[in-house]
Amino acid sequence: MAAIVIGVAATIFIMAFIAGQMQSFISNTIKNEISHIQMHHPEYKEEYNVSFTMNGIQSKLDKISSLENVQAVASKTIANGIISSAKASRGIMIAGINPELEKAVTQMDQNVIEGEYLSAEKRNPILIGKRLADKLKVGVRKKLVLRFQDRDGEIIDAAFRIVGIYKTNRNNFDEGTVFVRQSDLNKLLQLDDDAHKIAVLLKDEQDILQSKKKITGLSSGLLVETYEEISPEVRLFKSQIDISAKFIMTIIMLALFFGIINTMLMAVLERYRELGMLMSVGMNKVRVFSMIVLETFLIGLISAPIGMLVGYIAIIITAQNGIDLSAYSEGMSEFGLGSIVYPSLQPDAYIQVAIAVLITTILAAAYPAYKAIKLKPVEAIRKI
Amino acid sequence: MSVISAQQIKKTYNPKTIPVHALRGVDLNIEKREFTAIVGPSGSGKTTLLNIIGGLDRPSDGRIEVGGKDISTLSDNQLIDFRKKYIGFVFQAYNLIPVFTAKENIEFVMLLQKRSKAERDARVEELLSAVGMTEKIDKRPSELSGGQQQRVAVARALASKPTFILADEPTANLDSKSTSDLLDIMANLNQEEEVTFVFSTHDQRVIDRARRVITLDDGVIISDVNID
């Protein structure tokens, strides 16, 4: 029974840990990078050409923000180019943002670890990632040169001064993305008030498809996508995590399966004479088989809820402050994972585990029960 | 009419490797209300004969009829049903279920027969009274002496109202007093309730009380004495 309790508790906790990691990855991706829903020019994603812009941005922002489930909305102008310091150059994506609107959507201001967030006051301010700053060997207040093409294909060089350095849990993002004011970038790209992207943060992610439908209705001819459609790695990560969770559950259920077989075989052997006596006095094979299966099933029925409770308590305790994996934070950041994991598990996972345990228990009982009905009463009653 | 009729019963263990001939052709008739002891040295075939009569084992050859029915041709499940209806067993090692009380040990045989609760309760009370164990009704085997356990085992054997009781060395683990008490109880049941008893035993105390003594040696009956 203890084996089932521990097995179930371990399954529940490991699944919650994996789900917590997945949630961490998705929320980091949504929070720092892509939001729940994005709107683009329909051809922009194919070529990332700066000329594929959307116009009438303010009107779109107003309409979208008036929708019921929308928490925040912001537009972005995007350009790909090269950033150069006195010592190095890198290829990067330049994101032109409205600092105030962006704060509400991606909370980028909270990721600033040195200097300050973008503001309206300074001239050509730029926010760069910590990893990029290290590669370029620059710090706050240092000057950088951005080189990119405007909408006419002309090469533009512009000087920006670092006002802040940010750090997210996504190393690749930090190394490859810089933030400038949208107004500064638009001026250089000659885009007036246009933008390449509108990012929408929702109040409730559960209604994402409904919200997508409403936003699509507001913007005929534009491409509206959810974060799973925009970021294939989220889908990939989700499916890998799902597979991993099922794989781990299968391994634990297999261990449970053989554990139960072993335990019940021992129980049958220990009661060999008792079973022989029962068969001698008239208990038929169907009853003996059912008795062993029922006994095992009852053990599972009692142990599984206890194991789930133990697992649930472990989740509650660890979810309060999270599990600190900062010792591995560098490696985890490579995959966009936070260094603190908050285990969490949906209620349907408990039902899945309960069903898996009960099926495993019944299947595992079959072999000992078969051994029991194969015993010969005449031999069994003489067993010492 | 005989309750048990055995004709030319033979039993050979390991026939294909090292054959051991436990019974070499036993003819036997046991009538209703007999109080019979099957005796003989170890390895003479007493227990094998008892097992075959009780449908726990099958003869290699020969025919055995119980209540006029040939049991040597019954399937395993039919044999289980046959044992449930016709035979009560008393084992040397009592074989009571340790987690059951005296009452439950007696009652579960009737549960297999799907008797009503009222009927079960009345029968348990009657049987425990007959074996002098009324006060121990709620005791588990671990709380009873060997003699008391064997008395519960006798009550259990009688619970299904069998045609006869087979007792394999029932007194082997009992002291003199317990043996004497148990034999009194069984003799009383034999007389008053007309239960047929067949013992396999080495115990002289049992042999002294038997009214018929069948002696086996090397798988054959060498004497069959009615003491009446």
Asked whether residue B62 carries a pLDDT value surpassing 80, the answer given is yes
Please give, rounded to a whole number of angstroms, the shortest distance from the CA of B227 to a CA of chain A.
Answer: 31
pLDDT of residue A184: 92
* pLDDT mean over B35-45: 92
State the pLDDT at residue A383.
63
Least confident of A87-96, A276-285, B102-111: A276-285
Residue A384 pLDDT > 60, yes or no?
A: no
Q: What is the pLDDT of residues A102-131, one digit of tens each?
A: 888 888 888 899 999 998 788 899 999 999
Question: Which pLDDT does position A336 carry in this prediction?
Answer: 63
Using a CB–CB cutoff of 8 Å, tell me whether A287 touches chain B. yes
pLDDT in tens, A229-277: 888 777 887 788 788 888 888 888 898 899 889 988 998 888 888 888 8
- Given CB atoms, is A383 within the 8 Å cutoff of chain B? no
- pTM here? 0.68
What mean pLDDT is reported for chain B? 89
Higher pLDDT, A286 or A242: A286
Residues 6+ away with beta carbon under 8 Å from A352: A249
* ipTM of the complex, rounded to two decimals: 0.83
The answer to whether B112 contacts A287, with C-beta atoms less than 8 Å apart, is yes
CA-nearest residue of chain A to B51?
A: A378
Shortest Cα distance, chain B CAs vs residue A267, angstroms: 14
At A171, the pLDDT band (50, 70, 90 cuts) reads confident
Distance of alpha carbon A53 from the chain centroid: 31
pLDDT at B228: 66
Residues in chain A closer than 8 A to B109 (CB atoms): 281-282
Q: What percent of chain B has pLDDT over 90?
A: 44
Lowest-confidence region among A26-35, A201-210, B19-28: A26-35
Say if the Cβ atoms of A282 and B57 lie within 8 Å: no
- Rounded CA-CA distance A99/A118 in Å is 6
Tell me the CB-side half-sphere exposure of residue A246, using CA atoms within 13 A.
Answer: 6
Residue A82 near chain B (CB below 8 Å): no
Q: Across the interface, which of B57, B97, B112 has its CB nearest the CB of A274?
A: B97
Comparing B223 with A193, the larger pLDDT belongs to B223
What does the pLDDT read at residue B200? 92
**How high is the pLDDT of residue A280?**
87
Task: Provide the pLDDT for residue A332.
Answer: 66
Dump pLDDT digits (tens) for B110-164.
988 889 999 999 999 988 888 888 999 999 999 999 889 988 998 898 888 888 8
- Cβ of B46 under 8 Å from any chain A Cβ? no
Residue B41: pLDDT over 70: yes
**Would you say residue B38 has pLDDT above 90?**
yes
Give me the percent of chain A exceeding a pLDDT of 90. 28
**Chain B residues touching residue A377 (CB < 8 angstroms):** 56
SS (H, E, C) chain B: CEEEEEEEEEEEECCCCCCEEEEEEEEEEEECCCEEEEECCCCCCHHHHHHHHCCCCCCCEEEEEECCEECCCCCHHHHHHHHHHHEEEECCCCCCCCCCCHHHHHHHHHHHCCCCHHHHHHHHHHHHHHCCCHHHCCCCHHHCCHHHHHHHHHHHHHHCCCCEEEEECCCCCCCHHHHHHHHHHHHHHHHHCCCEEEEEECCHHHHHHCCEEEEEECCEEEEEEECC
Q: Do B109 and A287 touch (CB under 8 A)?
A: no
Contact status of A274 with chain B (Cβ, < 8 Å):
yes
Tell me the average pLDDT of chain A. Answer: 87
Give the nearest chain A residue to B98 (CA atoms): A274
Q: Is B74 on the interface with A (CB under 8 A)?
A: no
Q: What is the pLDDT of residue B69?
A: 85
Percent of chain A with pLDDT over 70: 97
A chain contacts of residue B112, beta-carbon cutoff 8 Å: 281-283, 287
Q: Does A346 lie at the interface with B, CB-CB under 8 angstroms? A: no
Please say whether the beta carbons of A175 and A187 come within 8 A. Answer: no
Least confident residue range of A119-133, A136-150, A268-282, A332-346: A332-346
Interface check A291 vs B, CB under 8 A: no
**Residue A355: is its pLDDT beyond 70?**
yes
Average pLDDT over residues B25-43: 92
Contacts of B83 in chain A (CB under 8 A): 280-282
Helices and strands counted in chain A (H then E): 15, 12
Letter string b/e over residues A136-170, b meaning 16 or more CB atoms within 10 A of that residue's CB: bebeeebebebebbbeeeeeeebebebbbbbbbbb
| B99 interfaces chain A, CB cutoff of 8 Å | no
CA distances from A358 to A104, A114, A241, A351, B25 (A): 47, 54, 24, 11, 53
Q: Which CATH number fits domain B2-226: 3.50.30.30, 3.40.50.300, 3.40.30.10, 1.10.287.130?
A: 3.40.50.300
A377:B77 CB<8 A: no
Is pLDDT larger for residue B190 or for residue A245? B190
Helix (H) or strand (E) holding A117: none
